[in-house]
Amino acid sequence: MRERTFVMLKPDAVKRKLIGRIIQRFEDKGLEIVEMKMLKMSRELAEKLYEEHRGKDFFEKLINFITSGRVVAMVIEGEEAISVVRKMVGKTNPLEADMGTIRGDFGYSTPDNLVHASDSRESARREIELFFGR
């Protein structure tokens, strides 16, 4: 089934100049980038994006990291896009992510794990709305 998902390249991916290499992987897989923008997230937007983690011990560190630099927000479309992208991104902890995944190949710590990707249709809809207003 063709679907849309939200993907965000985090400040570490931008600072390390990995934007093109990561996007190329999605395109090589046959996925289509239908919307994209670069921005510096406000604390308010960051807290909305990660509201499910509020109260956890890593929440403040995550918010500080995600607002520390520019990010690239994207809407990616394709067959089973949500699960395909999640598999391509790899496990949250780059040290546990398989080689061949984005985090396994380029990542080395958390929260500096390069990419945020929606984990369900509901979160994709919510996150696309947050960043693109629809």
Q: What is the pLDDT of residue 134?
A: 66
Decide: 33 and 27 in contact? Cβ < 8 Å: yes
Task: Give the CATH number, domain containing residue 125.
Answer: 3.30.70.141
Q: What is the pLDDT of residue 90?
A: 97
Give me the active site residues, please: 116
Binding site, by residue number, is 10, 58, 86, 92, 103, 113
Burial (CB count within 10 angstroms: exposed 0-12, middle 13-18, buried 19+), residue 48? middle
Binding site for ATP, by residue number, is 10, 58, 86, 92, 103, 113
Residue whose C-alpha is closest to residue 73's, from 13, 122, 28, 25: 13
Q: What is the pLDDT of residue 112?
A: 87
Question: Is this structure's pTM higher than 0.75?
Answer: yes
Number of separate domains in the chain: 1
Domain extent, residue 123, equals 2-132
Per-residue confidence of the chain (134 residues) as pLDDT tens digits? Answer: 999 999 999 999 999 999 999 999 999 999 999 999 999 999 999 999 999 999 999 999 999 999 999 999 999 999 999 999 999 999 999 999 999 999 999 998 887 899 999 999 999 999 999 999 96
